[in-house]
Chain A
């Protein structure tokens, strides 16, 4: 279980997050919604270790994560994507996928020099896995294209695939459907459900209410850095306060 306890983050005196707590469980998709600037991405960055909170803590299976150390948090099995996909644009799609796997023997110089066979074997297995994941994402026909040449939606799928290459128990997704064409969104919805069915904990930031209603088991609503509502997608839709904060004061 992923649990966030009383996390507070202030940027130059402005409280981006104010004592936020939440819990996300394996096999379930937790949606994180709220207006722009409500602190969703900041919360994701705290969970991913990219931002160290001023107070509060994040823990996985009751063990606190090393705050502010994204590479160590990733090693604990937390993978993430970004709102604007981060990829090695000059490398090919399959290479991006392959670099998603941690602990590769061929990334160790001594192994490379003295046991090159170990690296070659791991590469052969890795290519197979990477191609399987690309097929699952519907990107296999683009395997040898430069990642930078992909459409925005394809780049989002690719970065999700990279995040999954280390088989992470926890997955943090920042607006995977924003700016993506409806066909790819449908594909993502199916994909997200299959990830939860595999027993992963998924934390999803999304503005697309249709997607939230379709895939999320639970929803947490942030506004101005505090949790203003939580519940099932149906509860949240009925909640008048949420709709006001989402659609503006006039709604």
Chain B
């Protein structure tokens, strides 16, 4: 039971970082990324590619981060300035292209069968790393959230022409947010790879993106704490149903599909009953100073 809890909290911490990354993009800045699993996958494939070709752990980490930063700009660039609506489709497509590339080009990192990477064998060490990463990323996100940059991102969320009219380049803000957010998700992906000890394309399907979305919508888009709370709920269900399947003897496929069904119901309920999420976005206040 304790093992299960340690594993569950580790996974919650890792996926919370991915949800925070999506929160920076969508919750604060209005960038609809339907391919959020891509930066996570790029971060995980850094170590995988490194391991498959005899590279070191740090080389793998560096590769993952570099791929995520470059990938973010590459995916954002063709959409062009002032047309973020198309980004949902472009990012969704990009994540699938990458996954299919990994499935079909075996020499990169083992194809469909995946690649083994060095595993953090002590579960408590893995837990510590995951919580440490989450804490660091929460502090970073909070610094941005409460800053003039966060305020500008919230204006961009509502009206990109207004941002341009006020003398800032909307595309530059979007590119900055994308690179920072994708690096965050890539760090989570790299840690995930070393915690699980194995990287295969099946872990990075479109469904994973929408599980992150479910967590963010449930927790409250625009709220950093909400991203973590939502992820805790969703990942706890996700992890425990896996154990439930093993324990109850129900077919694994059935339980997996039921799990997605539950997330769908959760989304519908949130939209009907509590649109702002469990932890609504803080109404940003400016302390009255001076006259």
Contacts and interface: CB of A to CB of B under 8 A. Distances in A.
A100 B166 contact: yes
Interface residues of B, number: 34
A119 B165 CA distance: 22
Contacts of A116: 143
Contact of A95 (B286, B290, B291): B286
A165 B147 CA distance: 18
A99 B158 contact: no
A112 interface: yes
A222 interface: no
B164 A74 contact: yes
Nearest to A82: B165
Nearest to B170: A71
Interface stretch (B72-80, B148-156, B231-239): B148-156
Decide if the interface of chain A is mainly helix, strand, loop or mixed: helix
B100 interface: no
A95 B284 contact: yes
Given A91-B284, A109-B176, A99 B151 contact: yes
B52 interface: no
A94 B283 CA distance: 13
Contacts of B162: 86-88
A102 interface: yes
Interface string B167-180: 11110000010001
Contacts of A22: none
Nearest to A147: B158
Nearest to B143: A112
A48 interface: yes
A162 B162 CA distance: 10
Contacts of B283: 92
A119 B148 contact: yes
A100 B162 CA distance: 10
Given A102-B168, A113-B143, A127-B289, A86 B159 contact: yes
A244 interface: no
Nearest to B169: A71
Interface centre among B147, B151, B152, B283 (most CB of A within 10 A): B147
B151 A98 contact: yes
Interface of B: 140, 143-144, 147-149, 151-152, 154-155, 157-159, 161-170, 176, 180, 283-291
7 contacts: A50-B161, A71-B164, A86-B159, A88-B162, A92-B283, A106-B148, A127-B287
Interface of A: 48, 50, 70-71, 74-75, 79-80, 82, 86-92, 94-96, 98-100, 102, 104-109, 112-113, 116, 119, 122-124, 127-128, 131-132, 143-144, 162, 166
